[in-house]
Amino acid sequence: MQPIAPQDRLIVALDVPDSATARALVERLGDSVHFYKMGLELFMAGDYYGLLEWLRAQGKQVFVDLKFFDVPATVARAVRQLRGRGITFATVHGNDAIMQAAAEAKGDVKILAVTVLTSLDRGDLDDLGFDCDVEALVLSRARRAVALGCDGVVASGQEAAVLRAALGTGFLIVTPGIRPVTNDDDQKRVVTVETAFSSGADYIVIGRPIRDAEHPRAVAQRIQRQIADYFS
């Protein structure tokens, strides 16, 4: 894999209600952030591709987090729509056929398979009918994703070390649920910045701790210093 610049390892989630709010946040963060994630909320707000093109024009990397889950042929066609747009990552969330379809259609886009959402814990898996612990399910899904041609996985920092130990270094781990401060929201399987990277994550995704801060740029800069110090 290509070396990752430390400043590119922080991905900020643009979990905001519209394109104008997203652009304002990006402008406020300035050169403190180089990589952004665009999810379902922005997709439903409209102007998704307009914002994507604007981000690329600003020199930012883009992570399309739409967690494709549909008939495999439909997922393949959706992934093909992303090719040639300068997108770095896109997510898929499904069974083997869905992951394989996305991987085969990816072109210049790296496909990340979602393992288990960081908002879920053991009790939630029981409710969903999974008769195994979180770690076992994450490892099973990651093993299949890599074998099927996905470039990496989205996984909690709580499972990153297990994935690295079992599957090696030939794939990417993108870790959401990063909480550099006390956590009181709906994310359950969370870790700190340093723990994520020491466990084997390649990238971290942070949304609310930056977006909702009184001084978002200062928070992003502090996290970037933590990352730079870790990789120095």
Residue from 155, 204, 215 nearest 180 by CA: 204
**Residue labelled with tokens 């406020």:** 28
Is the CB of residue 27 less than 8 Å from the CB of residue 214? no
Is the CB of residue 123 less than 8 Å from the CB of residue 142? no
What stretch of H or E contains 119? none
37: annotated active-site residue: no
Residue from 163, 143, 149 nearest 111 by CA: 149
Compute CA distances 140 → 18, 98, 129, 143, whole Å: 36, 15, 16, 5
Strand partners, 77: none
Write down the number of H helices and E strands in the chain: 11, 8
Which entry of 37, 60, 67, 188 is annotated as an active-site residue? 67
Q: How far apart are CA 35 and CA 5, in angstroms?
A: 11
Residues involved in catalysis: 67
